[in-house]
Chain A
């Protein structure tokens, strides 16, 4: 059984003509337990609207969202429980910080789930250890931290709820390369530890190629493709048509091929590129 299943999801923002393009129409897909799904799409293609349905922040105009085979809206009063199961980290999550100490801020989510006392403290400290929030930070004000640290704490605030599915909306936006790497590491650390299913919205095709098992492509509110990294990025023509692109390494290999060098263009990560180049080199020395 799929952990998350979306059936015929349509969302129309009420009578606000300016947002019609942003709505989602008739999207269906399912996600298996433990997968990493990348969502790509140009600005305004409905990615953010789509993911806000996964934890019940938005209610579908039509269609259903199933979590572990059950409609999340079956009992609207229980929607809070779904939000603890499907964690959602918004863009620039550091703007959600509000508590006096880092500890209290991370504890906000678990506390809302009903945890208290030692169990709560343990939960907060576990997640901090896992994703590298230093103990000395715990009793500082979150507003005294640097930008990258703030984001780490904000993400910890969602992870502390131990969601089975965790969704990130552009988790690395506005960070420097070091910060981007740190965030990506946090995500994979959490996944290794909890076995959670991860869904990431990103504009970085390179990140997607490296991380994702499958990629979901949104275009004008519709699901354009939902397939393996290889199958999605081999359709570079179509991706460019809808304002997206393929990873830089793939572009390099496409260029090499058009220059007459016999290479395989199904290369999406640096590692694959190295392997492919070695093969070419071996081929040349053979000849």
Chain B
């Protein structure tokens, strides 16, 4: 069913990571991802793996949810691992035709797979602990320096577009379901036939959906204008983002992780 599509994966819970400033979370996520790539040896990588696992526990989002994300990316993970398996020199383990699997190949495969897995976990922490609206607000705030190079309205417009898009996804899903039912009642066949006839069968659904989206856009624009919306200029916010003590702790935590990775990189 269309209804089962979840967009934005926010998971309601009470954890320090949920409370942390979304801007801080975005910055720290980028920093952590960079450091996972800096981690050059297996010890540094294992250290970051343990740190990420602790972060997952702190987020109070069930591990089940994180592994659900992992499942989606599993084919990429396996593909990368297999590809790396054959690149490497060192002691030959197995030789099939022209392909050889060596010890370094196995090492590399595990290393790359773990690295990708960590990337997914880190970005999942952000999306699970931050509501889509907070995310767009944070992006707007983080991009605000662009206004000094004359892109003032562009930043706000972009953020507003993202917010509206997120807001209308459930509405459009509902609308699509209604139209599907209507056309089915007129005998439309969506379930059988070859690829071409199935694509053709979508036309009676996509056209009404497109038309109603355009209609909605006009209505929304009018409603916004009626309430004196004129872009970002001079607009104040109901929810102000402020850094708090929690953010200090999050930064400290991230600093420890990054420091650890660097130390292990240099020492070992």
Report the minimal beta-carbon distance from B143 to chain A, rounded to whole angstroms.
35
B-contact bits for A169-200, CB 8 A (1 contact / 0 none)? 00000000000000000000000000000000
Instruction: Kindly state the interface size class of chain A when it binds its partner.
Output: 20 to 34
Distance between Cα atoms of A143 and B203 in the complex (Å): 16
Residue B74 at the chain A interface, CB threshold 8 Å = no
Given contacts A57-B181, A95-B179, contact A112 B186 (CB under 8 A): yes
Query: What A residues does B211 contact at CB under 8 A?
Result: 95, 143
* Cross-chain contact B208 with A95 (CB below 8 angstroms): yes
Report the minimal beta-carbon distance from A159 to chain B, rounded to whole angstroms.
11
Residue A24 at the chain B interface, CB threshold 8 Å = no
Interface centre among B182, B188, B189 (most CB of A within 10 A): B182
* Cross-chain contact A84 with B187 (CB below 8 angstroms): yes
Distance between Cα atoms of A112 and B184 in the complex (Å): 10
* Cross-chain contact A161 with B204 (CB below 8 angstroms): no
Residue A93 at the chain B interface, CB threshold 8 Å = yes
* Cross-chain contact A52 with B182 (CB below 8 angstroms): no
Complex: chain A residue closest to B183, CB-CB: A96
Residue B149 at the chain A interface, CB threshold 8 Å = no
Query: What A residues does B182 contact at CB under 8 A?
Result: 90, 93, 95-96
Distance between Cα atoms of A108 and B187 in the complex (Å): 8
* Cross-chain contact A57 with B3 (CB below 8 angstroms): no
Of residues 118 through 152 on chain B, the ones whose CB sits less than 8 Å from some CB of chain A are: none
Of residues 46 through 62 on chain A, the ones whose CB sits less than 8 Å from some CB of chain B are: 52, 55, 57
* Cross-chain contact A83 with B204 (CB below 8 angstroms): no
Residue B178 at the chain A interface, CB threshold 8 Å = yes
Report the minimal beta-carbon distance from A161 to chain B, rounded to whole angstroms.
7
Residue A279 at the chain B interface, CB threshold 8 Å = no
CB-contact partner of B187 in A83, A89, A95, A97, under 8 A: A83
Residue B199 at the chain A interface, CB threshold 8 Å = no
Of residues 157 through 176 on chain B, the ones whose CB sits less than 8 Å from some CB of chain A are: none
Complex: chain A residue closest to B205, CB-CB: A98
Residue A16 at the chain B interface, CB threshold 8 Å = yes
B-contact bits for A127-171, CB 8 A (1 contact / 0 none)? 000000000000000010000000000000110010000000000
* Cross-chain contact A80 with B181 (CB below 8 angstroms): no
Given contacts A57-B181, A90-B181, A143-B211, contact A98 B187 (CB under 8 A): no
Give the number of chain B interface residues (Cβ < 8 Å): 19
Of residues 200 through 256 on chain B, the ones whose CB sits less than 8 Å from some CB of chain A are: 203-204, 207-208, 211-212
Query: What B residues does A95 contact at CB under 8 A?
Result: 178-179, 182, 208, 211-212
Distance between Cα atoms of A55 and B182 in the complex (Å): 11
* Cross-chain contact A83 with B184 (CB below 8 angstroms): yes
Residue B99 at the chain A interface, CB threshold 8 Å = no
Report the minimal beta-carbon distance from B239 to chain A, rounded to whole angstroms.
25
Query: What B residues does A14 contact at CB under 8 A?
Result: 1
Report the minimal beta-carbon distance from B197 to chain A, rounded to whole angstroms.
12
* Cross-chain contact A112 with B207 (CB below 8 angstroms): no
Distance between Cα atoms of A80 and B178 in the complex (Å): 18
Query: What B residues does A157 contact at CB under 8 A?
Result: 186
Residue A256 at the chain B interface, CB threshold 8 Å = no
* Cross-chain contact B203 with A96 (CB below 8 angstroms): no
Of residues 63 through 122 on chain A, the ones whose CB sits less than 8 Å from some CB of chain B are: 80, 83-84, 87-90, 93, 95-98, 108-109, 112-113
Residue B267 at the chain A interface, CB threshold 8 Å = no
Query: What B residues does A143 contact at CB under 8 A?
Result: 211
Question: What 5 pairs between A and B have smallest CB-CB spacing?
Answer: A112-B187, A98-B207, A109-B186, A88-B185, A96-B182
Given contacts A57-B184, A158-B185, 12 further A-B contacts (CB under 8 A): A14-B1, A52-B181, A90-B182, A93-B182, A95-B178, A95-B212, A96-B183, A98-B204, A108-B186, A112-B187, A112-B189, A161-B187
**Residue positions of B touching A, CB distance < 8 A:** 1, 3, 178-179, 181-189, 203-204, 207-208, 211-212
**Residue positions of A touching B, CB distance < 8 A:** 14, 16, 52, 55, 57, 80, 83-84, 87-90, 93, 95-98, 108-109, 112-113, 143, 157-158, 161
15 contacts between A and B (CB under 8 A): A55-B185, A80-B187, A83-B184, A90-B178, A90-B185, A95-B179, A95-B208, A98-B207, A108-B186, A108-B187, A109-B187, A112-B189, A113-B187, A158-B186, A161-B186
